[in-house]
Amino acid sequence: MSQNRFSIEARAYDIAGLAAHDFWVLRDEKDNVLGQLHGLATNPKNEILPIGKIGDKLKFYHFGSRAILLGLNPDYDLNYIKADQKSKLVFAGTSDDILDRWDNAVKALPYLNSLEVPYTPFAIIGLTHINSNTAYTLLGKLMAIPVYKFSGYWQPGWRNTNKILTSSQLKSMRYFNAIII
């Protein structure tokens, strides 16, 4: 990566070698991690869970120094980055362009969390899968960057963003300088 270029990467948190929790990572020009964007199962007590169950919600989270800088002061500052994870650089550019895209997604988090989206546990057959991978796809669309699908993992919920936002809502919330993907 060239100097003075910020980047956004996709990452896959391995779940027992079968499935993945996909999420976004923001890096500065020195490759330092500034933030992570996640969708996570959250119980009615507002506790993040490794695996959701019926009655839990899909909540959107921003972790890292960028979250603190923006005054979000998250209750949780978790790190899901592991050395052996699959990752893919999906977008690089000037700090202004990258931070504008990232912050556009961050700006949507309170609204998305207000929707109280039900979390679909274990991709139960017959239910529309809405989980962390749905959040990953939605956040990528809000940043108007390519949404990378990792091979070799089961990733239920990957494309079900229309179960959270309508196409017109998504269009109105998408990063404004981008072409529609």
User: Who wins on pLDDT, 146 or 74?
Assistant: 146
In a domain, 135, yes or no: yes
Q: What is the mean pLDDT of residues 104-132?
A: 86
Residue 50 lies in a domain: yes
Stated length of the chain: 181
Average confidence (pLDDT) over 31-51:
93
Residue 93, helix vs strand vs coil: strand
- Reported as type and span, the H/E element at residue 136 is helix 132-143
178 belongs to a structural domain: no
> Above 60 in pLDDT, residue 54?
yes
Residue 115 lies in a domain: yes
Quote the domain boundaries for residue 47: 6-173
E strand intervals along the chain: 6-15, 19-27, 33-42, 57-63, 86-93, 117-118
Q: Which of 11, 153, 32, 131 is nearest to 80 (CA)?
A: 11
Catalogue the E-assigned strands of 31-181.
33-42, 57-63, 86-93, 117-118
Domain total of the chain:
1
pLDDT at 180 over 70: no
Residue 59 has pLDDT above 60, yes or no: yes
